[in-house]
Chains A and B, each alone.
Chain A
């Protein structure tokens, strides 16, 4: 009888299914995983340390680069924390815009997730469909902020500017004639709200298409059902939040339980899983997209009817508008002080959390009254979820590791910070 011993396998950091730079040392007994030791930090940029050396507003764009598939939600948590410390009111219209873009971001995130998870598990088609829809939403990002990814659109005190009345159009070129372009430009002929309205009208049907492709698919179910089961008790012990917690059957959503902005005025439901396996988490996320779509629609209706300011008029926090600055001495001083020295945040500490597409994304700010944070701590949901990796993969086959990474929806920008 030959001596048998466990086999150690190095998974990543350049593995396409590792969703970034995850290095995992797996101890295998045959094909069964006995132990997983994730090594993280390969993308560590010390965002929190950098923020200590930047003014409050300068560290805002770093937030986009944390979870780089749900940019605006990260900014949202940061802005909420700064606003909490400053104790300022945000105009209602800005709150609606933020909620609308949070939900657009959730759809963006879940679309990328379902596409990449599909790729990992072997459903190659999904990613193409998901990216087709992402394109429209990313265009909305671009229309509003000028950037397709790292928007830096939310600011302490509101949002950078109001929604645009017109969108960029496709231009005729030697490859595409005017007739070919026309259908592309149809939805773009109106304002951004018209464009989004067109999207939310189309999207539920597209979601149905995704579901026909995956939900009852035999291979999809074979790969996901009963893989990575987390009981509700363990989910709480492991600090899970978001779809990971709801997949385990705990109805917990910050948008409902501790509503921020205008979520208490909106009508939506919270999907909850039953068994806590990867398949339930998939179903929860698919349903979340439908609910987000509902929220976006309600926001569009409200925003159409209620014009108004989108930025706080407290010029100790938000810069005055360009025109006023050039004609008024006091505004000029405000502008100068804001752009050279930055906001002064009163001494204190605050923790603000948002229901990020991946879970609870929190920002803990400690201010000593300076124009820079004294300490910034980012509570990234993925960090907590990934720390449960060992527990979740034990006893599963090697191929299931990929499913579990996918179902945790990890992104290394936020985990490594």
Chain B
């Protein structure tokens, strides 16, 4: 671990203490996991504490862990992963927070901490159905007006449920059930770590 990452890990432990559920350093990146209850406080500290000072939220994305490693997973299905960047210290951090309820995933919004998160949270809501209480404009963003479902969930088929076409009789664009069959050219295979002596 380089000196910089060590300093970062040390500062994280110093200022967040027990709020950090796990701290991992891999591939030159530091990842922390926090509980949903602490999420907002942790994010606030990460920005405001001068020894951490993550001025920028670079990215926030939702992840659906339900088929991770080709096994069905129960509990802790949805997580939100944010990437933070500190301009003054020149370091990065990844924060992961699991949403408790699989049927209604919900995490507090951090729009009050970073304005840039606004559209990222809308996107996570749109694509994965994660709700962010405290977000004042949680509309769909990337999918069509009136879209049903959350397309980036693992149980959503890649071809979708409906397709659009122009109907010459009704003289308007209509939706109908998809007519294409899902097709997998290369199957998804998880090999053991030592496969082929890489």
Contacts and interface: CB of A to CB of B under 8 A. Distances in A.
A408 to B, nearest CB: 14
Contact of A370 (B31, B118, B144, B190): B190
Interface in B25-55: 26-29, 31, 55
A84 interface: yes
Interface string B109-152: 00000111111000000000000000000001111100000011
A236 B54 CA distance: 10
Contacts of A340: 186
Contacts of B74: none
A41 B29 contact: no
B142 A416 contact: yes
A49 B26 contact: no
Given A238-B115, A383-B119, A374 B58 contact: no
Given A49-B151, A384-B116, A416-B142, A368 B69 contact: yes
Contacts of B166: none
B22 interface: no
A372 B188 contact: yes
A316 B191 CA distance: 13
B116 A346 contact: no
Interface stretch (B5-13, B87-95, B98-106, B170-178): B87-95
B97 interface: no
A239 interface: yes
Report the contact-size class of chain B (Cβ under 8 Å from the partner). 35 or more
A341 B114 contact: no
A58 B114 CA distance: 35
A6 B69 CA distance: 54
A236 B83 contact: no
B59 A362 contact: yes
Contact of B27 (A87, A258, A344, A366): A87
Given A237-B116, A371-B189, A85 B27 contact: yes
Contacts of A58: 186
Interface stretch (A114-122, A283-291, A292-300, A348-356): A348-356
Given A351-B92, A369-B69, A364 B59 contact: yes
Contacts, number: 131
A236 B119 contact: no
B68 to A, nearest CB: 5
A371 B142 contact: no
B96 to A, nearest CB: 9
Contacts of A379: 58-59, 83
Nearest to A316: B198
A346 B186 contact: no
B26 to A, nearest CB: 6
Nearest to A366: B63
B142 A341 contact: no
A349 B65 CA distance: 13
Nearest to B63: A375
A368 B190 contact: yes
A110 interface: no
A377 B158 CA distance: 17
Contacts of B70: 368, 370
B116 A369 contact: no
A333 B94 CA distance: 38
A46 B158 CA distance: 9
Interface in A319-372: 337, 340-342, 344, 346-351, 353, 360, 362, 364, 366, 368-372
A384 B116 CA distance: 7
A50 B116 contact: no
Contact of A40 (B27, B142, B186, B193): B142
A391 B115 CA distance: 10
B81 interface: yes
A68 interface: no
Contacts of B141: 40-41
A105 interface: no
Given A44-B142, A377-B59, A370 B196 contact: no
Given A350-B29, A370-B190, A44 B143 contact: yes
Given A53-B158, A384-B116, 14 more contacts: A40-B141, A41-B141, A41-B142, A87-B27, A239-B116, A341-B189, A349-B29, A350-B27, A353-B58, A360-B58, A366-B63, A368-B68, A369-B69, A371-B188
Interface of A: 40-41, 44, 46, 48-50, 53-55, 58, 84-85, 87, 234, 236-241, 250, 252, 257-258, 314, 316, 337, 340-342, 344, 346-351, 353, 360, 362, 364, 366, 368-372, 374-375, 377, 379, 383-384, 386-388, 391, 416-417
- Nearest 7 pairs of A and B residues by beta carbon: A239-B116, A41-B142, A387-B119, A379-B59, A377-B61, A236-B55, A368-B69
14 contacts: A84-B27, A237-B116, A238-B116, A240-B116, A316-B198, A337-B196, A341-B189, A351-B83, A366-B63, A368-B68, A368-B69, A370-B188, A372-B186, A384-B116
